């Protein structure tokens, strides 16, 4: 099956390899491009722990002193954290709210500031859960996700020919941007035979207006669960 991968290109290569191992062919067309931002000047004297909710933020750890506990959402984010040399990472499944619950269990109340290395657009969940437990929350934007303005011509052609069997969608923002691409290109009718595989219900929500053959939601927020949506 030809599977459209919409995630940023540097992450899509690993997804392509997993799809090939499953017997699928990947067509990569990112909706968002990740741009690194310089780590802003800051004092870490009052920081008790670091929170990371996206693998895109992990490279910023290389610019910070070792020793602070790191808490991450999901196996992929934890792997990215370990790849920059932080081996003792604490991992929560789910989303920012789940990470907040893990940090509330692991850290004493009012232990200090929780530094959230994040994208320029931060989703709700982590801050509210930490503040409720008496922690102070600070965020530092270390990357931004910039929309890619156009669909690749080969992808438009594959859609028009109804050759794409499935599309993988990872975030509510990318799903909304991708839906707008389809509508702008007048290709909604070409999705009648296409499966949408979504990482969560929030990701699936912007797709309700498109006539997919089926929309499936991963059982958990990780890529292996997402790829299992392609089975059967």
Residue range 38-69, pLDDT digits in tens: 988 888 888 999 999 888 999 999 888 878 89
Q: Note the Cα 7 to chain centre separation in Å.
A: 8
Please tell me the predicted confidence (pLDDT) of residue 148.
95
Please tell me the predicted confidence (pLDDT) of residue 132.
82
Structure token digits, residue 71: 């808490």
Residue ranges, the chain, pLDDT below 70: 123-124
Beta bridge partners of 118: 141
Please tell me the predicted confidence (pLDDT) of residue 97.
82
Please tell me the predicted confidence (pLDDT) of residue 124.
63
Do 26 and 3 form a contact (C-beta atoms < 8 A)?
yes
> Distance of CA 136 to CAs 27, 112, 115, 139, Å?
43, 6, 9, 10
Please tell me the predicted confidence (pLDDT) of residue 108.
82
Q: What is the pTM of this model?
A: 0.81
Please tell me the predicted confidence (pLDDT) of residue 141.
94
Structure token digits, residue 118: 């994040």
pLDDT in tens, 143-158: 999 999 999 999 999 9
List the domains of the chain with CATH numbers.
2-31+148-228 (3.40.50.10090), 35-145 (3.40.50.10090)
Euclidean distance between CA atoms 204 and 45, whole angstroms: 41
Please tell me the predicted confidence (pLDDT) of residue 51.
94
């Amino acid at each position: 099956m030809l599977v459209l991968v919409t995630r940023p290109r540097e992450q899509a290569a690993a997804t392509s390899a997993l799809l090939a191992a499953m017997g699928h062919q990947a067509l990569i067309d990112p909706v968002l491009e990740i741009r690194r931002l310089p780590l802003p000047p800051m004092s870490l004297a009052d920081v008790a722990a670091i929170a990371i909710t996206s693998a895109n933020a992990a490279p910023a750890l290389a610019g910070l002193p070792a020793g602070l506990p790191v808490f991450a959402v999901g196996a992929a984010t934890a792997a990215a954290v370990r790849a920059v040399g932080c081996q003792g990472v604490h991992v929560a499944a789910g989303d920012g709210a789940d990470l907040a619950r893990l940090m509330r269990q692991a850290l004493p109340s009012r232990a200090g500031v929780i530094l959230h290395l994040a994208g320029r657009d931060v989703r709700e969940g982590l801050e509210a859960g930490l503040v409720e437990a008496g922690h102070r929350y600070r965020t530092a934007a270390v990357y931004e996700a910039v929309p890619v303005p156009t669909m690749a011509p080969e992808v438009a052609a594959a859609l028009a020919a109804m050759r794409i069997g499935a599309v993988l969608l990872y975030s509510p923002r990318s799903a909304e941007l991708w839906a707008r691409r389809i509508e702008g290109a007048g290709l909604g009718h070409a999705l009648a035979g296409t499966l949408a595989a979504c990482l969560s219900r929030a990701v699936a929500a912007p797709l309700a207006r498109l006539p997919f053959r089926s929309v499936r939601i991963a059982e958990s927020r990780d890529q292996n669960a997402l790829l299992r949506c392609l089975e059967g």
